[in-house]
Each structure stands twice: as structure tokens, then as C-alpha cells.
């Protein structure tokens, strides 16, 4: 496999005051090949965003990587100085946020916002960057919208704003785009359009894509591999068709029981009807397997010992005592 990203034993924590830090991502290890799409699913609060932000050194105040490695093209990003990391962000790895409305600058025309990214990473004049920005906007679905680069974000619909945010993300030709819930705020039809756009771009530019979502259905048309997170742990990973059609972990089974249809509108983030209970408080995890209190397959040992990873086949990994 042509490995672009190798994450090893990553632990992400948040510190509040003098309390001991809370581990919100622990023991995370996974690989991503060039041109591959990895879908990350899991309920709210299971650590998806914290993992994604940690990869790029973008954790908010109080957040830090306690241990582990994030190797991108062989370089451990965790050890890079901020100035070097800034050269990687936007140019080689870019980030698409859930709310494009918040990610875009409200007082700048969208063409200028894309041009700014190009100028930050390339030796290029403003005039050249503006021309380039118009081309990128045409490529991501604004062909025929002559004046789109002159528009301000508030003049665009939610789907159009997300397209602009995606244009910004691909402007410098990155090898990896991390999209955190890029369609959650959109209605179901627009969700399909944006996922189709991401897939087209991914194929056209041979982009690697990490796509984070609450909704497994979003991943069906696009993901090559899927990773499932629960309470800060990766509990299952494998090829998308295998995970979606034959989930091993009881948590994945519960998540997928909520359905794989995107239309009609899926339910927003919240407790899952198919799994009783709620995810645990990460600052006070139960002993044993964190999913045990909600698991219908739980055995006595699950309440006393944490599961370790079991490998099955070439790329299937599951963290559940049942499979050890």
C-alpha cells in the first residue's frame, strides 16, 4: 500500500484547570493510502473531531497530544514546529469544517478567499490567484455562474457555501482533505450533491479523503474503508463493504441498524434509537469495555477487562472481547 498517512497509538487529551487531563482519543492507530477515502463514524462526543484536529495540530486551547505519531509522507507532524506545520496545512492537507458559513469570512468575496489561500502557499500575484480561483470555482460546480467569485458568503445557499469551502480546501492541490461533518448542516438532497462532488474531486485529483460523519449512509457511495469510534477508541475498521454489510462489533451493528438510507432526511445527532443508553462520560469511563453497559452481547469479563484489537483478514480490526 502506498501509505500517505500513518497514525500510531495517538492519545489526545483536554486539560481543565488543575484536574487530571481527560483522554478523549486513546490508542488510535490507522493508515491511509494516497487516493483513498476513509469514513469515520460514531455518536456525538466519541472523539472524531478531536482526532481530526490533532492530526493537523489544530486542537483548541487545553487540548494536546499526549503521545503517539502522525506520519504524513514519512514526517511525524506531531514533532513539527508551528511554522513548518503551517506550510503543510492548506497546501498538503486541508480541512473542511461542518459549518461553511462559519469557516468563510463574511466580509470577503468568495473568489478573494480562495485567492488568499493560493497566495499564502504559492509565489503568485493577486491577479493570477484570482484567475485561478475562478477556474477552481467552475470546477467545483459553479460553471456558468459568471460572477460567483464576486459574491459574498451571505449571498450563497448552505450547499453553495460548502462548495466554496471545498474549493478553498482543494485550491493548492493537497494530497489529503479532512472533512468534518461536511454535509450535516445541509438538507438531504444537497448532502447527496456534496458527497457526489467530493467523490468526483477525489477521483479526479487522486485525493485521499477523511470523511467524518454521524450518518453511516453518507459513506456508502464514497468510502473505501470505514473506521468506527466509540468513547475515544477505534472499535472497528475495515473495507467499507465488509464493515457496512457484515459489521463485527456490537456497536457498529447498532449504528448500522439505524439504517443506510440518506433520503428521507436522517435524524440529527443524538442518542441512537437502536442502542439503549448513551455514550459514557470520557472523564469517568466504566471499568472494562466502555461499550459494555449498552452491549446486548456483554459477558462478565467485559465489565472487568478492556478489549484489545483482534485482526481478521488483511485489513479488518475489531476491539471486542468476543473476537479475541
Ligand X SMILES: Nc1ncnc2c1ncn2[C@@H]1O[C@H](COP(=O)(O)OP(=O)(O)OP(=O)(O)O)[C@@H](O)[C@H]1O
Q: Are strands 75-76 and 63-72 parallel, antiparallel or unpaired?
A: antiparallel
Size of the site for ligand X (CB under 6 A): 16
From 10, 24, 133, 210, residue interacting with ligand X (rule: CB under 6 A): 24
Nearest distance from C-beta of residue 246 to ligand X, angstroms: 24
Would you put residue 30 in left (φ > 0), alpha (ψ -120 to 50) or beta?
Answer: beta
**Which residues within the stretch 257-316 sit at the binding site for ligand X (CB under 6 A)?**
269, 282
**Which residues within the stretch 25-64 sit at the binding site for ligand X (CB under 6 A)?**
42, 44-50, 60, 62-63
Closest residue to bound Mg ion by CB: 49
- The conformation of residue 299, written as its DSSP 8-state character, comes to -
Does position 21 bind ligand X by CB under 6 A?
A: no
SS (H, E, C) 133-144: HHHHHHHHHHCC
- Separation CA 243–CA 245 (nearest Å): 6
Does position 49 bind Mg ion by CB under 5 A?
A: yes
Nearer to ligand X, 160 or 213 (CB): 213
- Separation CA 175–CA 42 (nearest Å): 25
Provide the b/e sequence for 35-66 (b: ≥16 CB within 10 Å).
bbbbbbbbbebbbbbbbbbbbbbebeeebebe
Binding mask 171-210 for ligand X (x = CB under 6 A): ----------------------------------------
Interface residues with Mg ion (CB under 5 A) are 48-49
Interface residues with ligand X (CB under 6 A) are 14, 24, 42, 44-50, 60, 62-63, 214, 269, 282
Amino acid at each position: 500500500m502506498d501509505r500517505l498517512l500513518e497514525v500510531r497509538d495517538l492519545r489526545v487529551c483536554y486539560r481543565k484547570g488543575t484536574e487530571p487531563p481527560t483522554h478523549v482519543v486513546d490508542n488510535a492507530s490507522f493508515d491511509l493510502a494516497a487516493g483513498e477515502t476513509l469514513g469515520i463514524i460514531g455518536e456525538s462526543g466519541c472523539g472524531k473531531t478531536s482526532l481530526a484536529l490533532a492530526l493537523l495540530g489544530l486542537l483548541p486551547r487545553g487540548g494536546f497530544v499526549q503521545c503517539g505519531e502522525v506520519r504524513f509522507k514519512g514526517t511525524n507532524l506531531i514533532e513539527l514546529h508551528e511554522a513548518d506545520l503551517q506550510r503543510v496545512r492548506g497546501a498538503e492537507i486541508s480541512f473542511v469544517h461542518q459549518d461553511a458559513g462559519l469557516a468563510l469570512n463574511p466580509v470577503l468575496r468568495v473568489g478573494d478567499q480562495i485567492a488568499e489561500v493560493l497566495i499564502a502557499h504559492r509565489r503568485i500575484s493577486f491577479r493570477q490567484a484570482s484567475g485561478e480561483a475562478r477556474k477552481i470555482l467552475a470546477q467545483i460546480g459553479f460553471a456558468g455562474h459568471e460572477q460567483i467569485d464576486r459574491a459574498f458568503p451571505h449571498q450563497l445557499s448552505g450547499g453553495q457555501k460548502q462548495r466554496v469551502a471545498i474549493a478553498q480546501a482543494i485550491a493548492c492541490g493537497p494530497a489529503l482533505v479532512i472533512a468534518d461533518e461536511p454535509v450535516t448542516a445541509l438538507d438531504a438532497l444537497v448532502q447527496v450533491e456534496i458527497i457526489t462532488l467530493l467523490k468526483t474531486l477525489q477521483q479526479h485529483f487522486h485525493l485521499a479523503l477523511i470523511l467524518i460523519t454521524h450518518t453511516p449512509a453518507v459513506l456508502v457511495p464514497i468510502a473505501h474503508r470505514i473506521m468506527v469510534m466509540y468513547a475515544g477508541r477505534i472499535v472497528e475498521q475495515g473495507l467499507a463493504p465488509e464493515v457496512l454489510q457484515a459489521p463485527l462489533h456490537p456497536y457498529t451493528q447498532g449504528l448500522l441498524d439505524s439504517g443506510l438510507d440518506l433520503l428521507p432526511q436522517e435524524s440529527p445527532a443524538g442518542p441512537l434509537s437502536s442502542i439503549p443508553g448513551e455514550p459514557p462520560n470520557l472523564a469517568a469511563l466504566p471499568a472494562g469495555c466502555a461499550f459494555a453497559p449498552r452491549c446486548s452481547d456483554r459477558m462478565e469479563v467485559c465489565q472487568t477487562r478492556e478489549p484489545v484489537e483482534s485482526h481478521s483478514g488483511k485489513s479488518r480490526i475489531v476491539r471486542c472481547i468476543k473476537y479475541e
